[in-house]
Amino acid sequence: MSNQDYYNNQPHYGGGPPAGPGYYPPQGPPPGGQGGYYPNQPPQGGYPQQQGGYYPQPPPNTVYVQQQPQKQSGGAGGGTCMAWVHSFTGSQRFALLRQVVIDNMFARQAFHAGRLAASRSTGAKARFASTSSAQANVFSRATTVAATAVSVGSIAWYTHLYGQLPFIGELSANSPAEEGLHPASYPWSHKGWLDSFDHASIRRGYQVYREVCAACHSLDRIAWRNLVGVSHTVDEVKTMAEEVEYEDGPNDAGEMFQRPGKLADYMPAPYPNEEAARAGNAGALPPDLSLIIKARHGGADYVYSLLTGYVDTPAGVEIREGLNYNPYFPGGAIAMARVLYDGLVEYDDGTPATSSQMAKDVVTFLSWAAEPEHDERKKMGLQAVILLSGMLAISLYVKRFKWSSIKTRKILYNPPK
């Protein structure tokens, strides 16, 4: 029962204490009271004297509840609920909850206002982007038109000056007679990705170079030591090197002297200088053969076709005196005469020395001279493929069975309540 129920239902006590334990203010029961308030008693603890008894003045937010038996009417239960409601609404927890609700209301209003502002800003940006895109398209079209006009004008100006379209004359001028025949593609033993040089052919090719080609062409980038383990043994190479005299010095007297060759020496040149080479070849300079395979379009196929492509000058074709006709050479006229004939050299291993066999062997030797690291490079490449294949297999295993579970997992954070 609340204070209001107490004041409304029992205006005063006249004759004795009410039934039950009574109502006690915070100051305790008045003197002489035995379980209730008694009228006509002097004021105690600050309660004023009223007609019919004492009426206490409870402090604010104070609820006095009398426990009623369950057998009483439902009014007592309703009073208890009302008392709990009044107690809860007057508590600090209710004030905090009310503030949270108000804050949430303002927060939702601010959120909706922010979304509205963002949508308006997005619309403005879209309109600005569309405007910028339109301007960019106009600029792009103008640039395209200007570039096209400049290109067409340049072509017209060039045609007016030179009487022909640019580049067309240069492309059409290279006829087969001027450019030379394209060589056929030959099945070289070292052409495959995993193929190595035919070292027996390299040995025979060096013999052809030494007995035929070395009279005019140099091999400046190849030393005697490069032949060791490739085509000859160490003793064989030392013997060949000692057959050549090299100028060295100065000695203690300050004079140059001649000495036998050694493994560190490079292969000797046939001429001491370029002028001597031109003088000995009717003005033509024999090229160095160290990189000739890499320096010519077509590579080994071109050099082989050139060595075996000498034919008689066809009718209607005129070449200058001292030149030789070879359809694979650009222009068809070459200063070098045919040098390979059947049986020109005698191979140590008994291989028939036909012109095509000698050309094939010397081209193989020159291919090795252009790439001495050829076999080692392919060997290292195969080792790298094996290593990388193993690493790929390990990577696939780790990706499939180890990393996939880590990559696809989801981590959820449940904050403490």
Q: Which two tokens stand for residue 176?
A: 């087969």
Token look-up 């800003």 returns 121
Q: How far is residue 89's CA from residue 5's CA, in Å, rounded to a whole number?
A: 19
What is the distance between the alpha carbons of residues 121 and 108, in angstroms, rounded to a whole number?
20
Alpha helices in 32-91 (DSSP H): 74-89
∠18-21-26 over CA atoms, to 5°?
Answer: 105
How far apart are alpha carbons 124 and 130 in whole angstroms?
10
Q: How many angstroms separate the CA atoms of 326 and 334, rounded?
A: 7
Of 329, 324, 335, 220, nearest to 278 (Cα)? 335
Tokens standing for residue 239: 């013997």
Q: Is 336 marked as a binding-site residue?
A: yes
Coil, strand, or helix at residue 378?
A: helix
The DSSP 8-state label assigned to residue 182 in this structure reads P
142 to each of 129, 135, 147, 152, how far by Cα in Å?
A: 20, 11, 9, 16
| 217 marked ligand binding residue | yes
Structural tokens at position 203:
């040995």
Q: CA 340, CA 355: separation in Å to the nearest integer?
A: 5
The DSSP secondary structure of 290-358, one letter per residue, reads SSHHHHSTTTHHHHHHHHH---PPPTT----TT-EE-TTSTTSEESSPP---TTSS--TT-----HHHH
Q: Which residue has the tokens 């052809």?
A: 208
Question: What's the distance, CA 331 to chain centroid?
Answer: 48
The CA distance from 371 to 386, in Å, is: 24
Nearest to 223 by CA among 303, 189, 362, 232: 232
Dist CA 321 CA 333 (whole Å): 10
Asked if 219 and 288 touch (Cβ cutoff 8 Å), the reply is yes
Residue matched to tokens 């005698």: 346
Question: Residues comprising the binding site?
Answer: 213, 216-217, 336
Residue set of the binding site for heme c: 213, 216-217, 336
